[in-house]
Amino acid sequence: MIIQLDPGITPAALETIKQTLQHGGYKSSEVKTQKAYYLVALGTKEIDIRTIGHLAGVRDVHRVSDAYKLVSRKWKVHPTAIDLGDGIRIREGELALIAGPCSIESEEQAQRLAQHLKDNNVRIMRGGAFKPRTSPYSFRGMGLDGLKMFYRVAREHGIRVISEVLEISQIKEMYDYIDIYQVGTRNTQNFSLLHELGRVDKPVLIKRGMSGTIEELLQSAEYIFANGNEQLILCERGIRTFEKAYRNTLDLNAVPALKEKSHLPVIVDPSHGVGVRRWVEPMALAAVMAGADGLLLEIHQTPEEAASDGQQTLNFEESARVFRRAREALAARC
């Protein structure tokens, strides 16, 4: 059960609500986000929610039987929109295009990329500064200096930046050089990192764990929300299955499922999802038709020379075509 509280509720009124819940067999936790104040109550007994709804300080009461609560669509029917300023948004009914290299490599790369994105009216740029690599001998990113440069170039072009945060100490370091934090598939269940991301006032894109279920992804998002940050974006990026013909199995079932279960925007990363350059476009278009609110694409001026993930990275010509066709797909879907 989710109880939305009046922000100015008195301690006595709060106590009365908690007592009433306790008598009804419910255990409640307070959640104060940057936007609102809630009590999340867990219990199995039947309770007439009107007995809570009538109490002083209560704005609204919703019954949510899912394991995740605040990210559920059962209480918040209006979809969450992420506003990055200057008309740049991630929200239902639109298609947020996010593109850039797997890894930030050089200023020249960033300049060429930003110009290409601007030419194609793509307003969010991706690039990893701290790279989680399977092998310790692979390129592990340019670090904070790379991110600073990337952010400056993006800003010069009116573009927003998303980059992956690997650990708690980086949250603060990255803060001034980022518009959206990305939580990668290897960290989807790093609960201490998720908890800390609840305290920042910038959006967080959370990828599905490579062997994570839909419910686990939603519970991970709940961790961030429950610690204060409501600005969340879910991302399907492919899961591990028995199939070896491609890097991952892009689970597009996740799109309608997540859209139905949660009010958060859902975007799809077909680059990691399929892992093969020539199959990225069809999967990107399929993702749009499945209902995705955006796409996260790896692109590079010369993918063959990319420091990481070149095999799944589109060149500028290919990416321009995907942007155009994805927008056409959105128009056809609506």
Residues that bind ligand PEP (CB under 6 A): 102, 128, 132, 184-185, 207, 237, 272
Among ligand PEP, Mn ion, none, the one that 231 touches (CB under a kind-dependent 5 to 8 A) is: none
Query: Residue 3's closest CA among 42, 51, 54, 40?
Result: 40
* DSSP-based three-state secondary structure for 249: strand
- Residue 55 three-state SS: coil
221 interface partner picked from Mn ion, ligand PEP, none, CB below 5 to 8 A per type: none
* CA geometry: angle 2, 258, 269, nearest 5 deg: 135
Q: Residue 246 Cβ, how far from ligand PEP at the closest point, in Å?
A: 14
User: In terms of CB distance, is 156 or 167 closer to ligand PEP?
Assistant: 167
Measured from the CB atom, the residue of 20 and 185 that comes closer to ligand PEP is 185
Give one DSSP letter per residue of 286-330, joined into a string: HHHHHT-SEEEEEB-SSGGG-SS-GGG-B-HHHHHHHHHHHHHHH
Nearer to ligand PEP, 210 or 330 (CB): 210
CB of 186 to ligand PEP, least distance (A): 6
Residue nearest to ligand PEP (CB): 184
Q: How far is the CB of 273 from ligand PEP (least distance, A)?
A: 8
Smallest gap from residue 166 Cβ to ligand PEP (A) = 10
Q: Which of 150, 309, 313, 322 binds Mn ion (CB under 5 A)?
A: 309
Pick the closer one to ligand PEP by CB: 40 or 147. 147
Cβ within 8 Å of residue 224, ≥6 positions away: 194, 195, 197, 198, 204, 206, 232
Residue 312 C-beta: closest distance to Mn ion, Å: 7
**Least Cβ distance, residue 77 to ligand PEP (angstroms):** 30
Question: By the 8 A CB rule, do 305 and 108 touch?
Answer: no
End-to-end CA distance of the chain, in Å?
Answer: 34
Q: Are 70 and 38 in contact (CB under 8 A)?
A: yes
Q: Of 17-25, 81-89, 177-185, 302-310, which part binds Mn ion (CB under 5 A)? A: 302-310
184 binds, among ligand PEP, Mn ion, none (CB under 5 to 8 A by kind): ligand PEP
Which H helix or E strand runs over 3?
strand 2-5
Binding site for Mn ion (CB under 5 A): 102, 309
